[in-house]
Amino acid sequence: FETLRKYPPVAFITRESVQDYKMPDSNLVLDKGTGVFISVLGLHHDEEYYPNPEVFDPERFSEENVKERHHYAFLPFGEGPRNCIGMRFG
């Protein structure tokens, strides 16, 4: 899993805002229907979820560590009904 975190096969995922959303600490509002690009690489290298993100550490995915992390902090194949079709066959 650590290799997929460091080098995700999907660069970004796209979503659409389902309601108006005000960005925290900003005056920016995403209107309902606005397309949003989410950088999987950026997420997987965010120190909030992965301390020392440039270091290869397979222990990040131990049972204990996975329980402490938000479920959507690891998205190597995307998430939801349009995620990687090959994942179901792997």
- Known binding-site positions for heme: 84
Nearest to 43 by CA among 10, 85, 90, 16: 10
**Maximal CA-CA distance, the chain:** 44
Residue set of the binding site:
84
Contact by Cβ (8 Å): 60, 50: yes
